[in-house]
């Protein structure tokens, strides 16, 4: 095999910023001495192959893995920083435990690339692309993968369930190992699970806290402070197996002895905790009844193995506290202040700089500018983020008014309930989260905000089909989820101007929840309305009206200026598609009106009125059609006595695999071509729901479908 170039990674720990910069230039050193670009990694087909490796081999392998990750993720984008931080940790876990007999659960799962490599998945060329490896654990890919939900803080609940099941099915000797970050540990679910896990001392659950001090940005809050207080004391002696086994042996002897021995046992037990707390504070973990091992250097593979072996020998629930660095070994990541390359796009591996020119203006940046401007004008407006200040665009607001933006940790439920409290206190909270994470806070939105008529605004970024992060990250449920919340107002802006406008309208509502949702990525071109109706609905186009069938057309036939064949209701960023559909329909002699309701909840009256003046209504939405905007409009039409057929065009209630946004939309038929094709059939009466004739029009004749 031709010798391949490889990257030499320079040690970076404890370096100053200046030294770091120098190393950033130096780290990309080409060495052409290896037989294979993958070296030892090539010989690792599964976790068992790690057993035969020496300490030197393991160090070499760790370097190869980092090199592999940088090279590959630079080409595809992905969660580079978190994975560079767990190389030694993942190696140690796979050497000490026996996956898949023992279950390894990665919280969130964005840090599972090393695990993928060690379990036989080495083709990263199409990571996160259609047909390629998922960016998260995936049961379809490997029997070593278990949890693929990618929503943070659920791993410990899974471990609680798995370990309970193991006990009940007579397999209590199998371990469940959880890798959870200090960020995910700020989520309430994690503590609900610990409360349960700690109650049963026989459950073989090893909780590895991967403490790099960061979520995207530094983790904040009391738990983060507590972890920080444990950090300075690396106590190797205490994690040594001999120490623990000696204590266990003494404990057993005394426990099984007579009354005096038992008395001694009790006082020793108290002393042991006391001594340990003095040596290295255990704090709340031991107070919760969990064994605590650590802190251990998370880049010292041997020390990690020792700590994990200690935890394994204990054969009960244990916390192993590992200190790691996000982006370890890669200077561009370590030097990246904002998020240490938590997630990157395509980058130049040498410099870490984006390789692709940044497209146009993003939806997030439009929101970031506008909310900062609103905050300047209104002192009562406050911002809340769940550990994602920059990704959701609250950073400009925070920079200008640091005391009015709160990072509450990965705690969406808390964020929304806390917002109700802030509103009660006279403020107007703006909770900014990714649309997919609203799912976490449904009950709080319903009962804490809506029931109390609290003036709280939710801003949902990354709504609709998002693409490479796959099923867990499409923001496709939000609009259906909020349909049944009494009094809620829902806006879906179609472009930057409407986002600014609707955001301002949202924060003006002080007696009900308001939701503003928008897509991921670059905001499209501005689409000016040809008319704004009295209730705020924008008419974007009237196409082919008055030219229908070469005569007076549908408008004339219905005797009303509003009438046409098809009413296209375009929700949010679907406006470009809707306009293209209307052009295609016009080519087939079908007239249409395109409207953007702007506020889709409550359903504007003019949409119902227009529905009555058309032969069929088609609602286009980038969300699940089951219980979505279209189905809500249909119900409101029925309630108003309007019997026009309505076709809901949106996403199926399915989990959609990763791919580009365009590929996913194509897969589900959400393209102008497919939509127009179906509408033509409905107008011709060959596909349900059939378009009805307008009053004074003859019933449509069926015919063969034209080619579109």
Ligand X SMILES: Cc1ncc(C[n+]2csc(CCOP(=O)(O)OP(=O)(O)O)c2C)c(N)n1
Count Cβ atoms below 10 Å from residue 173 Cβ, excluding itself. Answer: 11
Taking CB under 6 A as the criterion, the residue among 90, 112, 163, 212 binding ligand X is 212
Q: Mark whether 326 is an active-site residue.
A: yes
Residue 77 interacts with ligand X (CB under 6 A): yes or no: no
Residue 111 near residue 181, CB atoms below 8 Å: yes
Give the SS3 label for residue 72.
Answer: helix
Give the SS3 label for residue 459.
Answer: strand
Residue 415 near residue 431, CB atoms below 8 Å: yes
Residue 586 structure tokens: 């016009």
For 161, 200, 314, the CA distances from 167, given in Å and listed in that order, are 10, 11, 16
Q: Which CB atom, from 210 or from 310, has the smaller least distance to ligand X?
A: 210
Quote the distance between the C-alpha of residue 280 and its chain's center. 35
Residue 181 interacts with ligand X (CB under 6 A): yes or no: yes
- DSSP state letters, 486-541: TT-EEE--SSHHHHHHHHHHHHT--SS-EEEE--SSB-------SEE-TTSPEEEE
Taking CB under 6 A as the criterion, the residue among 72, 76, 111, 157 binding ligand X is 111
The tally of CA atoms less than 13 A away on the side-chain side of residue 482 is 33
Backbone φ, ψ for residue 540 (5° rounding)? -90, -30
| Candidate segments 121-129, 266-274, 277-285, 386-394, binder of ligand X by CB under 6 A | 386-394
Residue 474 near residue 465, CB atoms below 8 Å: yes
Taking CB under 6 A as the criterion, the residue among 39, 77, 78, 82 binding ligand X is 82
What string of H, E and C letters represents the secondary structure of 30-53?
A: EECCCCCCCCHHHHCCCHHHHCCC
Helices (H) and strands (E) in the chain, counts: 28, 20
Starting at the edge strand found earlier in the chain, the sheet holding 599-601 runs 405-407, 381-385, 428-434, 457-461, 514-517, 489-491, 599-601
Residue 105 interacts with ligand X (CB under 6 A): yes or no: no
H helical segments located in 77-231: 80-84, 87-96, 113-118, 155-168, 188-197, 222-230
Residue 634 pairs in a beta bridge with: none
Total of chain residues touching ligand X, rule CB under 6 A = 25
Residue 435 near residue 464, CB atoms below 8 Å: yes
* Catalytic-labelled residue, pool 203, 291, 326, 615: 326
Taking CB under 6 A as the criterion, the residue among 145, 182, 325, 448 binding ligand X is 182
Taking CB under 6 A as the criterion, the residue among 157, 210, 413, 519 binding ligand X is 210
Residue 10 structure tokens: 């320079």
Cis peptide before 612 (omega within 30 of 0): no
Q: Which CB atom, from 419 or from 529, has the smaller least distance to ligand X?
A: 419
Q: Which of 326, 353, 84, 70 is nearest to 218 (CA)?
A: 326
Q: Mark whether 67 is an active-site residue.
A: no
Q: Which residues are CB-neighbours of 416 under 8 A, at least 6 positions away?
A: 431, 441, 444, 445, 448, 449, 456, 458
Taking CB under 6 A as the criterion, the residue among 215, 335, 575, 647 binding ligand X is 215
Q: Which CB atom, from 323 or from 646, has the smaller least distance to ligand X?
A: 323
* Catalytic-labelled residue, pool 440, 500, 520, 584: 440
Pairwise CA distance, residues 677 & 585, whole Å: 9
Nearest-approach distance from CB 140 to ligand X, in angstroms: 20
Q: Which CB atom, from 244 or from 412, has the smaller least distance to ligand X?
A: 412
Residue 572 interacts with ligand X (CB under 6 A): yes or no: no
| Candidate segments 108-116, 311-319, 347-355, 601-609, binder of ligand X by CB under 6 A | 108-116
Nearest-approach distance from CB 602 to ligand X, in angstroms: 29
Nearest-approach distance from CB 584 to ligand X, in angstroms: 39
Nearest-approach distance from CB 84 to ligand X, in angstroms: 10
Q: List the beta strands (DSSP E) in 318-422.
A: 318-323, 381-385, 405-407
Nearest-approach distance from CB 498 to ligand X, in angstroms: 27
Residue 33 structure tokens: 């001495």
Nearest-approach distance from CB 371 to ligand X, in angstroms: 19
Q: What angle do CA 579, 518, 656 make, to 5 degrees?
A: 85
Residue 206 near residue 320, CB atoms below 8 Å: yes
Residue 23 interacts with ligand X (CB under 6 A): yes or no: no
Residue 183 interacts with ligand X (CB under 6 A): yes or no: yes
Nearest-approach distance from CB 129 to ligand X, in angstroms: 20
Q: Which CB atom, from 298 or from 650, has the smaller least distance to ligand X?
A: 298
Residue 642 near residue 612, CB atoms below 8 Å: yes
Q: Which CB atom, from 466 or from 575, has the smaller least distance to ligand X?
A: 466
* Catalytic-labelled residue, pool 412, 505, 621, 648: 412
Residue 387 interacts with ligand X (CB under 6 A): yes or no: yes
Pairwise CA distance, residues 504 & 698, whole Å: 46
Binding to ligand X (CB under 6 A) within 289-348 occurs at: 326, 342
Nearest-approach distance from CB 323 to ligand X, in angstroms: 12
Taking CB under 6 A as the criterion, the residue among 6, 72, 108, 155 binding ligand X is 108
Q: Mark whether 45 is an active-site residue.
A: no
Quote the distance between the C-alpha of residue 102 and its chain's center. 27
| Candidate segments 23-31, 104-112, 224-232, 579-587, binder of ligand X by CB under 6 A | 104-112
Pairwise CA distance, residues 322 & 128, whole Å: 28
Taking CB under 6 A as the criterion, the residue among 9, 194, 388, 438 binding ligand X is 388
The tally of CA atoms less than 13 A away on the side-chain side of residue 586 is 17
Q: Which of 341, 342, 338, 362 is nearest to 352 (CA)?
A: 341
Residue 561 near residue 555, CB atoms below 8 Å: yes
Residue 543 interacts with ligand X (CB under 6 A): yes or no: no
Nearest-approach distance from CB 456 to ligand X, in angstroms: 18
Q: Which CB atom, from 339 or from 538, has the smaller least distance to ligand X?
A: 339
Q: Which CB atom, from 184 or from 446, has the smaller least distance to ligand X?
A: 184
| Candidate segments 144-152, 253-261, 266-274, 459-467, binder of ligand X by CB under 6 A | 144-152
Nearest-approach distance from CB 30 to ligand X, in angstroms: 30
Interaction pattern, residues 646-685, with ligand X; x per rule: CB under 6 A: ----------------------------------------
Q: Which CB atom, from 410 or from 454, has the smaller least distance to ligand X?
A: 410
Residue 271 structure tokens: 């002393």
Q: Which CB atom, from 182 or from 370, has the smaller least distance to ligand X?
A: 182
Q: Which CB atom, from 478 or from 565, has the smaller least distance to ligand X?
A: 478
Residue 362 structure tokens: 């993003």
| Candidate segments 22-30, 385-393, 503-511, 535-543, binder of ligand X by CB under 6 A | 385-393
Nearest-approach distance from CB 387 to ligand X, in angstroms: 4
Q: Which CB atom, from 217 or from 633, has the smaller least distance to ligand X?
A: 217
Taking CB under 6 A as the criterion, the residue among 150, 163, 466, 476 binding ligand X is 150
| Candidate segments 146-154, 199-207, 392-400, 534-542, binder of ligand X by CB under 6 A | 146-154
Nearest-approach distance from CB 439 to ligand X, in angstroms: 8
Q: Which of 690, 667, 665 is nearest to 678 (CA)?
A: 690
Taking CB under 6 A as the criterion, the residue among 184, 427, 679, 683 binding ligand X is 184
Nearest-approach distance from CB 601 to ligand X, in angstroms: 24
Taking CB under 6 A as the criterion, the residue among 28, 68, 175, 437 binding ligand X is 437
Q: Which CB atom, from 183 or from 672, has the smaller least distance to ligand X?
A: 183
Pairwise CA distance, residues 564 & 540, whole Å: 14
Task: Give the catalytic positions in this structure.
Answer: 326, 412, 440
Task: Write out the residues near ligand X by the rule CB under 6 A.
Answer: 82, 108, 110-111, 150-152, 181-184, 210, 212, 214-216, 326, 342, 386-388, 410, 412, 437, 440
């Amino acid at each position: 095999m031709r010798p391949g170039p490889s990257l030499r990674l320079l040690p970076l720990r404890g370096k100053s910023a200046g030294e770091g910069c120098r190393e950033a230039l130096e780290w990309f050193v080409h060495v052409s001495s290896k037989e294979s670009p993958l070296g030892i990694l090539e010989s690792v087909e599964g976790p068992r192959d790690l057993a035969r490796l020496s300490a030197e081999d393991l160090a070499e392998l760790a370097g190869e893995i980092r090199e592999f990750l940088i090279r590959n993720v630079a080409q595809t984008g992905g969660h580079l920083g978190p994975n560079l931080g767990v190389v030694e940790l993942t190696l140690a876990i796979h050497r000490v435990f026996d996956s898949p007999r023992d279950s390894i659960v990665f919280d969130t799962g964005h840090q599972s690339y090393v695990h993928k490599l060690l379990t036989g998945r080495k083709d990263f060329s199409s990571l996160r692309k259609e047909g390629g490896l998922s960016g998260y654990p995936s049961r379809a890919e490997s029997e070593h993968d278990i949890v693929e939900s990618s929503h943070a803080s659920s791993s410990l609940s899974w471990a609680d369930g798995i370990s309970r099941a193991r006990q009940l099915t007579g397999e209590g000797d199998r371990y469940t190992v959880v890798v959870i970050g200090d960020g995910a540990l700020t989520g309430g679910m994690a503590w609900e699970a610990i409360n349960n896990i700690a109650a049963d001392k026989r459950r073989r659950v090893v909780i590895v806290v991967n403490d790099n001090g960061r979520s995207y940005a530094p983790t904040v809050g009391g738990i983060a402070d507590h972890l920080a207080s444990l950090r300075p004391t690396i106590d190797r002696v205490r994690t040594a197996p001999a120490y623990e086994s000696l204590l266990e042996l003494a404990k057993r002897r005394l426990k099984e002895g007579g009354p005096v021995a038992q008395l001694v046992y009790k006082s020793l037990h108290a002393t042991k905790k006391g001594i340990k707390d003095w040596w290295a504070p255990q704090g709340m973990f031991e107070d919760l009844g969990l064994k605590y091992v650590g802190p251990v250097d998370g880049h010292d593979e041997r020390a990690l193995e020792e700590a994990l072996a200690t935890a394994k020998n204990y054969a009960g629930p244990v916390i192993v506290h590992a200190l790691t660095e996000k982006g370890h070994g890669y200077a561009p990541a370590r030097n990246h202040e904002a998020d240490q390359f938590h997630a990157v796009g395509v980058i130049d591996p040498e410099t870490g700089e984006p390789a692709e020119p940044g497209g146009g203006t993003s939806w997030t940046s439009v929101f970031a500018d506008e909310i900062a401007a609103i905050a300047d004008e209104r002192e009562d407006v406050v911002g809340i983020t769940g550990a994602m200040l920059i990704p959701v665009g609250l950073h400009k607001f925070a920079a200008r008014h640091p005391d009015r933006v709160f990072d509450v940790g990965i705690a969406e439920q808390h964020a929304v309930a806390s917002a109700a409290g802030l509103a009660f206190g006279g403020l107007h909270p703006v909770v900014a989260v990714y649309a997919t994470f609203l799912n976490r806070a449904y009950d709080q939105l319903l009962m804490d905000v809506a029931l109390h008529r609290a003036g709280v605004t939710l801003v949902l970024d990354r709504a609709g089909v998002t693409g490479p992060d796959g099923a867990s990250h499409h923001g496709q449920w939000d609009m259906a989820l909020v349909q049944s919340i009494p009094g809620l107002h829902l806006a879906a802006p179609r472009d930057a101007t409407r986002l600014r406008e609707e955001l301002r309208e949202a924060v003006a509502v002080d007696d009900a929840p308001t939701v503003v949702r928008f897509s991921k990525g670059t905001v499209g071109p501005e689409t000016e309305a040809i008319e704004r109706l009295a209730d705020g609905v924008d008419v974007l186009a009237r196409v082919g009206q008055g030219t229908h069938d070469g005569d007076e057309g549908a408008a004339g036939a219905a005797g009303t200026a509003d009438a046409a064949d098809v009413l296209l209701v375009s929700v949010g960023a679907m406006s470009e598609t809707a306009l293209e559909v209307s052009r295609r329909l016009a080519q087939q002699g079908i007239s249409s009106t395109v409207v953007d309701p702007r506020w889709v909840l409550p359903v504007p009256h003019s949409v119902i009125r227009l529905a009555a003046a058309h032969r069929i209504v088609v609602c286009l939405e980038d969300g699940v059609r089951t219980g979505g905007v279209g189905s809500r409009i249909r119900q409101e039409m029925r309630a108003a006595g309007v019997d026009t057929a309505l076709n809901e065009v949106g996403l199926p209630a399915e989990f959609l695999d990763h791919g580009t946004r365009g590929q996913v939309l194509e897969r589900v038929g959400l393209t102008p071509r497919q939509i127009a094709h179906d509408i033509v059939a409905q107008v011709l009466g060959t596909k349900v729901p059939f378009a009805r004739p307008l009053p004074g029009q003859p019933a449509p004749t069926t015919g063969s479908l034209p080619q579109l």
